[in-house]
């Protein structure tokens, strides 16, 4: 009796082992077909293989709709080409043979690589459910996690819970919006597994990183209607930018009242520093741009960094200028080493770019402007 049972058990165990063997082989085959380097392929586990296969298939479905847009050939013109490595310049005459096709590929890849590098961001393709179907491979530079680790996962697993609603709203696409290629521009917090020095750590010590996402909707009609969001995600660096004379910095308390502004503000807008201290930025801007300022302010309060979009600042004496502000929340005093855990008072630092000249200088939009005009 028991011998029979034993026999059966052995048989079933062997059968199971064989089945698993076959399955593993298929998985290996599948992973070999994935467009990654051998070393990467070998280290993928089964769910990852499927996840990445899914991404691969989905991206191809998405791109099937486009009619092979190739790099345009400009036949007779010599053009400069910047190569990423080395500092060579190369003029090229473009023909259309295979060799040139390869060169085109090289150019395309270099151009996109350069583009992504200069943009200082990565590309993300999001499905309407929030699956990160595709991420460009430089994502590891910003998030500390590689393309293969992240692709196929859902974005809601990696973003701050308080931002989920905003992300969902941005993913909501009506048919009309998709057809028009509706644009999206928002800020979200994502997990970043990078140390201060920029080396990858693991997810256990992840911190929140603020990303500015901009892009548009894309649809592919055939074979099945698939719509998704194409976004470039950029972190918001504030430091070490050469500021022009058309840019000024200002500091505000958390309610957006001025606590400091530099002299260029005076040159550009006419207000002296003393006039502005204690006044709210909402007073200084065109009333119709209140929405824009509110959104900016809220982003700062919740996410600690923001890009404002374009709004109008009133010029002393009349008229306004179009500006855009990049802001961040910073501690208002240098963090002291003696009391590291102490609560830091915060303030807002804004770098404001002036985009236009003074528009409609005779237009009085606020009481202040009227006063200044007559008291000149």
Q: Does 54 bind another protein (CB under 8 A)?
A: yes
Q: What is the DSSP string of 280-314?
A: BGGGGB-GGGHHHHHHHHHHHHHHSEEEEEEEEEE
Element (H, E) at 122: strand 122-127
Peptide bond into 223 cis (omega under 30): yes
Residue among 129 and 278 whose Cβ is closer to another protein: 129
Q: Smallest distance, Å, CB 12 to another protein? A: 13
Compute φ and ψ for 296, nearest 5 degrees.
-60, -45
Residue among 119 and 221 whose Cβ is closer to another protein: 119
Residue among 69 and 375 whose Cβ is closer to another protein: 69
CA distance to 21, 121, 189, per residue, from 132 (Å): 31, 15, 15
Using CB under 8 A, pick the residue from 100, 103, 111, 366 that binds another protein: 111
Residue among 270 and 330 whose Cβ is closer to another protein: 330
Q: Does 125 bind another protein (CB under 8 A)?
A: yes
Angle between helix axes 2-33 and 46-64 (nearest 10 degrees) is: 40
Q: Does 340 bind another protein (CB under 8 A)?
A: no
Site for another protein in 300-319 (CB under 8 A): 308-311
Using CB under 8 A, pick the residue from 181, 278, 345, 361 that binds another protein: 181
Structure tokens at 59: 């991206």
Q: Specify the stretch interacting with another protein by CB under 8 A; choose among 3-11, 41-49, 275-283, 367-375.
A: 41-49
Q: Does 334 bind another protein (CB under 8 A)?
A: yes
Q: Does 191 bind another protein (CB under 8 A)?
A: yes
Burial of 297 (0-12, 13-18, 19+ CB in 10 A): buried
CB neighbourhood size of 82 (10 A): 12
Q: Does 219 bind another protein (CB under 8 A)?
A: no
Q: Does 195 bind another protein (CB under 8 A)?
A: no
Q: Smallest distance, Å, CB 140 to another protein? A: 12
């Amino acid at each position: 009796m028991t011998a029979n049972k034993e026999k059966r058990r052995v048989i079933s165990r062997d059968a199971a082992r064989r089945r698993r063997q076959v399955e593993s082989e298929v998985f290996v085959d599948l992973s070999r077909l994935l467009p990654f380097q051998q070393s990467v392929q070998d280290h993928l586990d089964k769910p990852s293989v499927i996840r990445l296969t899914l991404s691969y298939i989905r991206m191809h479905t998405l791109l099937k709709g486009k009619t092979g847009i190739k790099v345009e050939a400009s036949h007779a013109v010599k053009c400069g080409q910047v190569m990423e490595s080395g500092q060579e310049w190369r003029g090229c005459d473009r023909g259309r043979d295979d060799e040139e096709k390869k060169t085109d590929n090289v150019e395309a890849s270099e151009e996109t690589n350069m583009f992504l590098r200069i943009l200082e961001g990565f590309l993300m393709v999001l499905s309407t459910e929030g699956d990160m179907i595709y991420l460009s491979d430089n994502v590891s530079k910003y998030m500390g996690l590689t393309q293969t680790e992240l692709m196929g996962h859902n974005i809601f697993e990696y973003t701050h819970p308080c931002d989920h609603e905003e992300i969902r709203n941005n993913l909501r696409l009506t048919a009309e919006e998709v057809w028009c290629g509706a644009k999206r521009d928002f800020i979200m917090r994502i997990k970043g597994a990078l140390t201060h020095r920029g080396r990858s750590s693991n997810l256990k010590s992840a911190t929140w990183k603020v990303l500015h996402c901009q892009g548009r909707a894309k649809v592919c009609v055939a074979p099945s209607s698939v719509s998704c969001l194409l976004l470039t995600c950029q972190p918001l660096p504030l430091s070490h930018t050469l500021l022009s004379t058309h840019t000024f910095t200002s500091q505000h308390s958390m309610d957006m009242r001025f606590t400091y502004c530099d002299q260029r503000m005076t040159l550009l807008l006419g207000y002296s520093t003393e006039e502005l201290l204690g006044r709210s930025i909402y007073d200084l801007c065109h009333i119709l741009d209140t929405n824009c300022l509110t959104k900016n302010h809220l982003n700062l309060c919740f996410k600690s960094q923001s890009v404002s979009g374009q709004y109008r600042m009133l010029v002393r004496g009349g008229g306004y200028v179009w500006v855009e502000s990049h802001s961040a929340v910073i501690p208002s005093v240098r963090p002291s080493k003696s009391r590291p855990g102490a609560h830091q008072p915060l303030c807002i630092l804004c770098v404001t770019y002036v985009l236009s000249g003074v528009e409609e200088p005779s237009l009085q939009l606020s009481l202040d402007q009227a006063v200044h005009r007559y008291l000149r």
